[in-house]
Structure 1
């Protein structure tokens, strides 16, 4: 696809670069809240996520566009999809899938073991990638990261946007949280569709530790390159809010206990009716963006203490 960046506006705030489109500027701030569904096991969360995909497949014809969740949160779903791909029963569904990643560390070679792409390949398996219609990762090994991100966004837009945004919940300092990798005080606004964010040592440590805990095959060379990453490429609030459905999963509170309080804060914090105050809340705690989507499912385990 031709890289055409004329429809994107670039804004920079404190070193964070955000890309936006004019048609996403009038973002409403209606707080729909969250009603979590507590399931007994990680396997049940994976099945619930798969059921959401089945529901979307029944409700529409043609292609289905999804953003995969990296890390622990969706591994059970990915294992189920990998098993389905080994049979022919769901080939018609898989053939409709346009699959996108939602965030990435950069610059980093695409074959690095700490890349979400490698982790997806490991768990989903080769049959899945052979059968889906397309797979579009964020490019992390290009000299111009912004141009690569724009090409990614152009493809996503040309296909009609996301039908399902599979999303997680990441803990941050001061009992805040991130969605995708929208960081606190990164200046993300409702019309920002994607961004390039300077990385922090805490994010690198969290990323490396969760990949190791998840069983990824990594080398010392991979880790050295990963630790030299300088940026995070991430989808922004507009991509979340414009998705037809948001499906959240949180399964790792045992190994990431900070999520108990940070999720509780998102669950219990009502956004202010004053627009400017609400925007300040969202900037301080981007996990709150999920409250603005009217069609959200949040699947969690009992270890969140709900």
Structure 2
């Protein structure tokens, strides 16, 4: 462990790098659980997510800081925002948005068809990005990924942190799950804001197949570059716990049936009464971090079997 600068501390753990705010605050476990809201269609999930954005806008003045969810989970929300951006109905709201990405594969060109940024541009559209206040992606096209990630975290901190963390639920082996790209056994601790962790070939295959199924245009060179990615950049547990609101969506259990069991495990796991054992549970199944946030909405479809 060594300090990267005055704001963040660097933790290096067997090739995994995590960045943390300097803090002596101890870990305190409060399990708020999850009460999922089952909606009939993916379109209804997208509308419910949009309503959460409207609610935040009504409850505060000034800027609204959000982390976009990549992949299938928020595509309906993004389509709704893209359509609104083509009109003047939501211009005042859009002008207040500081938009951040939450994870990325690296190194990879920002214009690669398999990057989350390009997928956001495809669905949200040019008008959305012209009308929002700012867009801050995780940079994946630099030889110094760590410095770029520090710049990203510095901007997020200066703006006051996330008002809404739009988040998904990713299945992992042994009926575990990931949030953002916090992987099982990646050593993520409660005070880690973001990390750079090694990537597995299985994640790359899942990522490529997911983007192709979602309609992304992917060239041979894009796919080749993506397959050579070595790292995952991801926001960490502290970014989740410090967000003012968590809005989760899980809509693709038909194409990712493992989510039926992995989501159920997040709902039903009993936390140990021993603090050290709780940290082990969170490390083995990072999807559980969401249960430690007091203001969480989880919108799901009936295909999760609940």
State whether TM-score is above 0.5: yes
Q: Distance in 2 between matches of 1:24 and 1:255?
A: 43
Alignment partner, residue 280 of structure 2: 280
Alignment partner, residue 289 of structure 1: 289
Q: CA deviation at 1:23?
A: 3.1
Q: CA deviation at 1:267?
A: 0.6
Alignment partner, residue 194 of structure 1: 194
Task: Please identify runs of 4+ aligned residues in structure 1 that moved more than 2 A.
Answer: 23-27
Matches within 5 A, 1:205-284: 205-284=205-284
Q: CA deviation at 1:25?
A: 4.1
Q: Number of matched residues?
A: 303
Q: CA deviation at 1:24?
A: 7.1
Alignment partner, residue 181 of structure 1: 181
Q: CA deviation at 1:6?
A: 2.1
Alignment partner, residue 305 of structure 1: 305
CA pair 94-24 structure 1, distance change in 2 beyond 3 A: farther
Alignment partner, residue 144 of structure 1: 144
Alignment partner, residue 159 of structure 2: 159
CA contact under 8 A between 1:18 and 1:196: conserved in structure 2? yes
CA pair 224-279 structure 1, distance change in 2 beyond 3 A: same
- Does residue 69 (structure 1) correspond to residue 69 (structure 2)? The answer is yes
Any idea what SS the aligned residue of 2:23 has? helix
CA contact under 8 A between 1:31 and 1:270: conserved in structure 2? no
Residue-by-residue CA offset, 1:31-52 (whole Å, 9 max, x unaligned): 1100000000000000000000
Q: CA deviation at 1:271?
A: 1.6
Any idea what SS the aligned residue of 1:23 has? coil
Q: Distance in 2 between matches of 1:6 and 1:225?
A: 35
Alignment partner, residue 39 of structure 1: 39
- The TM-score, its normalising length taken from structure 1, stands at 0.98
Q: Distance in 2 between matches of 1:206 and 1:157?
A: 32
Q: CA deviation at 1:270?
A: 2.2
Q: Distance in 2 between matches of 1:10 and 1:301?
A: 39
Q: Distance in 2 between matches of 1:124 and 1:41?
A: 20
Q: Distance in 2 between matches of 1:32 and 1:24?
A: 23
Q: CA deviation at 1:165?
A: 0.1
- Does residue 93 (structure 1) correspond to residue 93 (structure 2)? The answer is yes
Q: CA deviation at 1:14?
A: 2.4
**Please, which runs of 5 or more residues in structure 2 have no aligned partner?**
none
CA contact under 8 A between 1:25 and 1:190: conserved in structure 2? no
- The TM-score, its normalising length taken from structure 2, stands at 0.98
Q: CA deviation at 1:126?
A: 0.3
Q: CA RMSD in A?
A: 0.9
Q: CA deviation at 1:123?
A: 0.1
